[in-house]
């Protein structure tokens, strides 16, 4: 028995060694193709500079969908199509304005112009999904709180004020997504928690540690139990200024925002497919989201994920790789303020009784790849870990438990599909996330391409071995 | 015996666990200090924007040295001083100019103006240490070669030509320093290898894969056996244009450069010191180089290494850390075109019979940290590896054999001092290296700071445990 075991072991080891070498060669071929002949960067230039912002429902969305379909076809999809879904249609409606004025010791004459010692324009932007101030601005005294705890303690003071949440991004987290998760609750819950106590509007400190003053938008959520009140994010330098002034002064802010919802409209997931040669019924999904906020080019969020997704398709075709399983390359609709594309994709999969064996998402910026994360069973994670030596040389060397993304998580909930995420370096992401600085120039060609390389390597391995 | 061994093992394990926890807390303290209160970014802003370029011998060098000494003192050095050394004093001497013209089928009248179909200015920059073209420009036909092999094969054609080395940066290396090492030989040896066969001047394709057209300078080395000829680097877009034109056209380039050497002058290493409380005779060195090329702000190369070095000093003092061993924080002189500062530092160490137990250098850009490399004995490497779990959470998770840098390698040669390098992510470095785009704006605050955090952690561990 011992000998038999030994023989089996050696045979397995030899096969593994052979496969590993073969895999290593194939992955190098993919990498060379992407680094030498990559189209991701040029595609991103087009998406950001020729199309630009593309919030759900906008003209940009429509243009981006058409363009995406064309690139899927040009990249060599066996089949490419649009999957229709209804998307929310929030519009900013005009320029968001905020002006801070010191309140002098003698009150302003009722109805008269506001006599201010200082009249400082604040760099602000309305939060996505927020309502506007109406035809005239809201003018109210600002009350700064540094946390929800402070809000609760001082709830009696809130009525008729503009609440300024000055909760700081925690710089001591090495992975900046932890700081985002931590601070993000003020953007999500802040308006309704202040409305509960009668606040007129909300200003939140931008979820960022940037050295500049650009305000960062992003979706807020109203709790239907309370009044919907206008809500804006403020740039960090202006937030610091405002907090500093409030230590010694009473300050009023005049706020004008114009956001509103139009009726839901038609949007699409854009899908390209390579049919599997051996197991066409087993579907692997890889994607990013095509929509972006309206105030930027959405280069990192998530133009990067979209062009990486299509680059994998292009590279597979360019090197003549025929997948065993069916691979779907998906540009999801409406991730930013509704995730209707994600829901639609999973619903269709259920309806068509599809078998989704794996999904991978890139939605953390086009920065240098550092790792891959996987949500799955222990066995799946063990298998995934074995591929680390093959992928790590290309940058993604941290293989972590926990992965996925807003666009593929519904697959996991519906089918227990294991989901993974590309985890790029996080240091620069929240400098530009949802801000006007999320532009093409902030993306580095090689970093973007290496993201695609690492994703392609994982897709190849799952395609070949299953998961 | 078994019990005794077990007892010993448990005692050791417990001590190790305790120390690891203590170390982990101390390193977190350092990290929080740097990420919350860091001065590295502001210091870098001053160095790049108020002082700027600082090639050995320049006024910028003198200003930077004075500033460095002041920051060492402000950061809390027990002692700070300048270590004098003679440095070469190469000056660019004026604007480098190159103009390409097609050679028409009928030759230009001798001495007359050059009748060109196209007159295209090329974005070029003279290589450091190169000689100028003299009072008038060199005008000569361009011969493109893609490699030294091609040069050798076509050596009969070289005489009186301008040789254009169009050797491309190899994009398929994941670590871009390999591409740099590979292409760098054309900058270093190119001029003399062409002069050997009678070339009049040399143009080298910039050692970069940037998407822009900025030319990248850097030192060349003349082989004294051959004539010294002018040598420039050309931006990548212009290199591609020139190579493309040369496929079908004969092209002359008119070249004007103005470089020359003034007599050697006085420069300084700037040194700050924390005296060791237990083993003051054991010296740990950490540093970067203060000089930069004259065409840029030297933000990544190597302003970053300098401000990181001083940040470690500041953070140690800020958290009240008293080192066991003596730690020297060094801003080295003249790394770019002579390494005289490095030589001086090692010479003085020999003269004073100092004991140098470890040296760490940061000279690969202020990008997000990915690893640490060590040159040392196998035992030293093993010890170093054991610290990986303590440092990896801060970004430097690749612990590799081989480390050091131009400024600390002389210590290794003199004393077998183990030397280490901070290895940041390499993807963006050669976009800006030695080019006008190496400016403050290309540096990210957190990435810069995290470099200092990882370096500080390693210095702390070596200080505590030796190596």
Q: What is the ipTM of this complex?
A: 0.92
Is the model's pLDDT at A11 over the cut of 70?
Answer: no
Tell me: pLDDT of B113 over 90.
Answer: no
Residue B174 near chain A (CB below 8 Å) = yes
Q: In the block, which residue shows the tokens 């956001």?
A: A259
> Is A65 noted as a catalytic residue in this protein?
no
Give contacts of B370 with chain A, Cβ < 8 Å: 370
Q: Where in the sequence of chain B do the CATH 3.50.30.30 domains occur?
A: 97-258
Q: For residue A360, is pLDDT > 50? A: yes
Residues of B with CB below 8 A from A370's CB?
370
Confidence grade of residue A134 (pLDDT, cut at 50, 70, 90):
confident
Q: What is the mean pLDDT of residues B134-143?
A: 94
- CATH class entry, domain A27-88+263-465: alpha beta
pLDDT higher than threshold 60 for residue B109: no
pLDDT band at A135 (very low <50, low <70, confident <90, very high): confident
Report pLDDT for A265: 98
Instruction: Report the pLDDT value the prediction gives residue B281, as an integer from 0 to 100.
Output: 98
The pLDDT of residue A103 is: 73
Q: Is the pLDDT of residue A20 over 90?
A: no
Per-residue confidence band for A2, with pLDDT thresholds at 50, 70 and 90? very low
Q: Does B108 have pLDDT greater than 60? A: no
| Contact at CB, B32 and A172, closer than 8 angstroms | yes
Tell me the average pLDDT across A438-452.
Answer: 98
* Residue A269 to chain B, least CA–CA distance (Å): 31
User: What does the CA dihedral B409, B411, B415, B420 come to, rounded to 10 degrees?
Assistant: -60
Contacts of A43 (CB under 8 A, 6+ apart): A71, A307, A310, A311
**Nearest CB to A446 within list B31, B209, B394:** B209
SS3 call for B22: helix
The confidence score (pLDDT) of residue A9 equals 47
Model confidence band, residue B200 (pLDDT cutoffs 50, 70, 90): very high
Q: What is the pLDDT of residues A376-406, one digit of tens each?
A: 999 999 999 999 999 999 999 999 999 999 9
**Percentage of chain B lying above the pLDDT 70 cut:** 93
Residue B437 in contact with residue B430, Cβ under 8 Å? no
Provide φ and ψ at A119, rounded to 5°: -130, 90
Query: Whole-angstrom Cα distance, residue B245 to residue B225?
Result: 33
How does pLDDT run across A76-133, given as a tens digit for each residue? Answer: 999 999 999 999 999 999 999 999 988 764 444 455 454 445 689 999 999 999 999 9
Q: What share of chain B is helix, strand, coil (3-state, %, to 5)?
A: 40, 25, 35
Please tell me the CATH code under which domain A97-258 is placed. Answer: 3.50.30.30
Judge contact between A219 and A127, C-beta under 8 A.
yes
Q: Provide the pLDDT for residue A106.
A: 46
For chain B, percent of residues with pLDDT exceeding 90: 91
Chain A nearest-CA distance from B362, in A, is: 19
In a 3-state reduction of DSSP, which class is residue A345?
helix
DSSP type of residue B393: G
Q: Which of A65, A335, A354, A449 is catalytic?
A: A335
Does B171 have pLDDT greater than 90?
Answer: yes
Considering only CB atoms, which chain B residues are within 8 Å of A431?
444
From chain B, pick out residues whose CB is under 8 angstroms from the CB of A393. 174
* A3 pLDDT higher than 60: no
| pLDDT, mean over chain B | 94
Handedness of CA B212, B217, B221, B226 (dihedral sign): positive
Q: Does A122 touch chain B (CB under 8 A)?
A: no
- Residue ranges matching CATH 3.40.630.10 in chain B: 24-90+263-465
Closest C-alpha among B178, B246, B238 to residue B214: B238
d(CA B86, CA B89): 9
Q: What per-residue confidence (pLDDT) applies to A118?
A: 67
Among residues of chain A, what percentage have pLDDT more than 90? 91
The predicted model gives B146-167 an average pLDDT of 98
Global pTM reads 0.94
Predicted pLDDT at B400: 97
As a whole number, mean pLDDT of residues B284-295 equals 98
Q: Does domain B24-90+263-465 have CATH number 3.40.50.280?
A: no
Residue B15: what pLDDT?
58
B13-48: pLDDT as tens digits = 555 666 889 999 999 999 999 999 999 999 999 999
Confidence of residue B195 (pLDDT cuts 50, 70, 90): very high
CB of A447 within 8 Å of a chain B CB? The answer is: yes
CB-based contact (8 Å) between B136 and chain A? no
Cβ atoms of B346 and B406 within 8 Å: the answer is: no
pLDDT of residue A5: 46
Which residues have CB under 8 Å from A466's CB, separation 6+? A282, A325, A357
Q: Is the pLDDT of residue A349 over 60?
A: yes
| Tens digit of each residue's pLDDT (9 = 90 or more) over A231-268 | 999 999 999 999 999 999 899 999 999 999 999 999 99
Predicted local confidence at residue A261, as pLDDT: 98
Catalytic residue among B297, B335, B354, B447: B335
The pLDDT of B374-401, averaged and rounded, is 98
Alpha carbon B177 to its chain centroid, in Å, reads 11
pLDDT of residue B4: 46
**pLDDT by residue (tens digit) across A267-309?**
999 999 999 999 999 999 999 999 999 999 999 999 999 999 9
């Amino acid at each position: 028995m011992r000998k038999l075991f030994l023989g089996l072991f050696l045979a397995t080891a030899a096969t593994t060694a052979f496969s590993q070498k073969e895999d290593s060669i194939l992955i190098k071929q993919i990498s060379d193709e992407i680094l030498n002949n990559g189209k991701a960067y040029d595609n991103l230039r087009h998406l950001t500079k020729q199309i630009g912002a593309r919030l759900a429902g906008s003209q940009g969305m429509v243009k981006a969908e058409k363009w995406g379909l064309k690139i899927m076809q040009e990249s060599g999809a066996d089949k490419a199509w649009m999957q229709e879904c209804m998307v929310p249609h929030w519009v900013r409606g005009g320029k968001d304005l905020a002006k801070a004025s010191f309140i002098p010791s003698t009150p302003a004459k009722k109805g008269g112009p506001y006599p201010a010692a200082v009249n400082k324009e604040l760099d602000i932007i309305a939060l996505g999904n927020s309502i506007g101030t109406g035809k005239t601005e809201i003018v109210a005294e600002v009350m700064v709180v540094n946390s929800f705890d402070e809000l609760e303690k001082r709830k009696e003071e809130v009525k008729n004020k503009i609440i300024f949440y000055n909760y700081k991004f925690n710089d001591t987290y090495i992975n900046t997504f932890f700081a985002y998760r931590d601070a993000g609750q003020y953007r999500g819950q802040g308006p309704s928690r202040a409305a509960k106590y009668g606040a007129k509007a909300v200003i939140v400190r931008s979820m960022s540690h940037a050295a500049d003053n650009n305000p960062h938008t992003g979706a807020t959520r109203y709790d239907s139990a309370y009044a919907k009140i206008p809500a804006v994010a403020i740039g960090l330098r202006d937030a610091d200024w405002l907090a500093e002034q409030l230590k010694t002064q009473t300050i009023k802010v005049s706020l004008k925002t114009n956001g509103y919802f139009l009726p839901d409209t038609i949007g699409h997931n854009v899908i390209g497919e390579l049919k599997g040669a051996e197991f066409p019924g087993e579907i692997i999904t890889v994607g990013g989201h095509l929509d972006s906020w309206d105030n930027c080019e959405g280069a990192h969020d998530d133009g990067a994920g979209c062009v990486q997704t299509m680059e994998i398709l292009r590279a597979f075709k360019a090197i003549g790789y025929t997948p065993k399983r069916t691979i779907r390359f998906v540009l999801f609709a409406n991730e930013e303020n509704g995730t209707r594309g994600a829901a639609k994709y999973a619903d269709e999969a259920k309806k068509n009784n599809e078998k989704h064996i794996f999904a991978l998402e890139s939605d953390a910026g086009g920065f240098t790849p550092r790792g891959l994360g996987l949500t799955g069973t222990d066995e799946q994670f063990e298998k995934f870990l074995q591929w680390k030596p093959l992928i790590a040389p290309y940058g993604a060397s941290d293989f972590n438990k926990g992965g996925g993304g807003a666009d593929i998580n519904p697959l996991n909930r519906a089918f227990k599909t294991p989901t993974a995420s590309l985890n790029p370096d996080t240091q620069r992401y929240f400098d530009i996330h949802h801000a006007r600085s999320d532009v093409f120039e902030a993306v580095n060609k090689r970093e973007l391409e290496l993201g695609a390389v690492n994703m392609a390597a994982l897709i190849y391995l799952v395609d070949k071995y299953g998961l």
